[in-house]
Homo-oligomer: A and B are copies of this chain.
Amino acid sequence: MENEKKVTFDDIAKYTNFSKTTISRYFNNPDSLTVKNQDIIAQALVDLNYHENKLARVLANGKSEFVGIIVPNLYLHYYAEMLNQILNTYEQFGYKFLIFASNGNSETERAYIQELLAYKIEGMILLSHTIPSEELASYQIPIVTIEREDRYVNSVNTDNYMGAVQATSLLFKNSCDVLVHINSTVQKDVPAYGRIQGFQDTCLENRIPHELIIRDLGHSHQEIHECMLEIYEYLKKTYPNQKKGLFLANDTHANHMLHIIFRDCGTLPDEYRIIGFDDSPIAEQSIIPITTIGQQIGKIAYEAMELLVTQMNERKKRRPKPQTELIHKSITPILVRRETTD
């Protein structure tokens, strides 16, 4: 029953006998008004039931306070939780998030970026890995990537190498006779390659007998299970009566391997030690809670936003200095000891 017309600064100005300018100042620089006049305007706001229009403000001052995000999907817990933590930075930085899920298609991803640009986002965070960083850099807008190839853009990544070192060292200390790292093919320029490198280096340095099993493990539950079964049979045959330390590429794989061993032996025998990566829920919820390398997702999200905000602020200055050097932040993961290691 209230009049549906939206009330604007003009209406408030007329109602209070101030000018539009003063009303605008009330919002953006209240201290430049007398306290008395602030009260008058505050009262008018409620009398007229004013609601602000931030889009009009964007058109006028160019600051949208939008950040665009592209995730591959939200099915995997890692992406979901990362997005969650990014959203939580709203309290700190005040940026709003426009979000797309690319589902791994680079063409639609390009379309999404265009759409984001059309809505005047001030910066962008990418978790997807379909578009080369060189192309991303060409968009001339602040960008931070997370855990993907990042040669030409700023980024925040988990220190995968250190994570692998921690995992490998723990298995070594558990006095395993042979260490095995199981992973799928991963390009050398993506951060996750550090898991392989860290494992190898640590084994070599300490002269630990080890084996690297790299193969396409598939994606469906069924496929992964069959691959793991094969690998299990192989290990059993190849290293009989030896204590095997298994470092899996992620918790999902670790969970599969644990199940296979558990169903074969009725328990996890001392002959096997297992460690995963990610600290996803499955690690804690498995039949035996799995030791894992926990990525500090909250910290990664925060650092990414901070890095982005710095760039966005620089851009708002009268004479922004172009960034001269790329920044790659590295966040050390944390060893989460549970019951699949000693």
- A contacts, CB < 8 Å to B: 51-56, 58-59, 64, 73-75, 77, 80-81, 83-84, 87-88, 90-91, 96-101, 103, 108, 115, 117-120, 221, 252, 255-256, 259, 262-263, 266, 281-282, 284-287
CB pair B282 A259 closer than 8 Å: no
Residues of B within 8 A of A259 (CB): 287
Verify A221–B81 contact, CB threshold 8 A.
no
- Neighbouring B residues of A286 by C-beta, 8 Å: 287
Distance of A81 Cα from B284 Cα, bound (Å): 20
Contacts of A256 in B (CB 8 A): 285
5 A-B pairs, CB-CB below 8 angstroms? A59-B59, A87-B100, A90-B100, A263-B287, A282-B282
Q: Are B59 and A88 in contact (CB under 8 A)?
A: no
Q: Is the pair A96, B74 in contact by a Cβ cutoff of 8 Å?
A: no
Cα of A155 to Cα of B281 in the assembled complex, Å:
30
Which of B74, B119, B263 contacts A83, CB < 8 Å? Answer: B74
Main secondary structure of the interface of A (DSSP, over half): helix
Query: Distance (Å) between the CB of A137 and the closest chain B CB?
Result: 15
Inter-chain CA distance A75–B77, complex, in Å, is 7
Chain B neighbourhood of A54, CB < 8 A: 118-120
Closest B residue to A102 using CB positions: B87
Q: Which residues of B contact A263 (CB under 8 A)?
A: 287
Are A287 and B285 in contact (CB-based, < 8 A)?
Answer: no
Would A101 and B84 be within 8 Å (CB), given that A64-B55, A96-B119, A119-B96 are in contact? yes
Set B53, B59, B221: member contacting A118, Cβ < 8 A:
B53
| CB pair A84 B73 closer than 8 Å | yes
Complexed CA–CA distance, A33 and B14 (Å)? 43
A197 to B73 Cα, complex, angstroms: 35
Q: Pick the contact of A284: B75, B221, B262 (CB < 8 A).
A: B221
The 4 A-B residue pairs with the shortest CB-CB distance, nearest first, are A80-B80, A74-B84, A54-B118, A287-B287
Instruction: From known contacts A77-B80, A285-B255, A287-B263, infer whether A55 and B51 are also in contact, taking CB-CB under 8 Å.
Output: no
Cβ of A285: which chain B residues have Cβ within 8 Å of it? 221, 252, 255-256, 282
Q: Which residues of B contact A101 (CB under 8 A)?
A: 84, 87-88
Interchain CB contact under 8 A, A59 and B51: no
Contact B52 A118 (CB under 8 A): yes
Given A55-B120, A59-B59, A98-B96; A84-B75 close (CB under 8 Å): yes
Q: Tell whether, in the assembled complex, residue A120 and residue B75 are in contact, meaning their CB atoms are under 8 Å apart.
A: no
Residues of B within 8 A of A80 (CB): 74-75, 77, 80, 83
Contacts of A58 on B, CB cut-off 8 Å?
Answer: 55
Once bound together, how far apart are the Cα atoms of A259 and B108, in whole Å?
42
Cα of A281 to Cα of B286 in the assembled complex, Å = 12
Given the complex, which residues of B lie within 8 Å of A98, measured CB to CB? 96-98
B87, A115: Cβ atoms under 8 Å? no
Contact A75 B81 (CB under 8 A): yes
Return chain B residues, CB-CB under 8 Å to A103. 88
CB distance from A161 to the nearest CB of B (A): 28
Interface core residue of A88, A119, A221 (most chain B CB under 10 Å)? A119
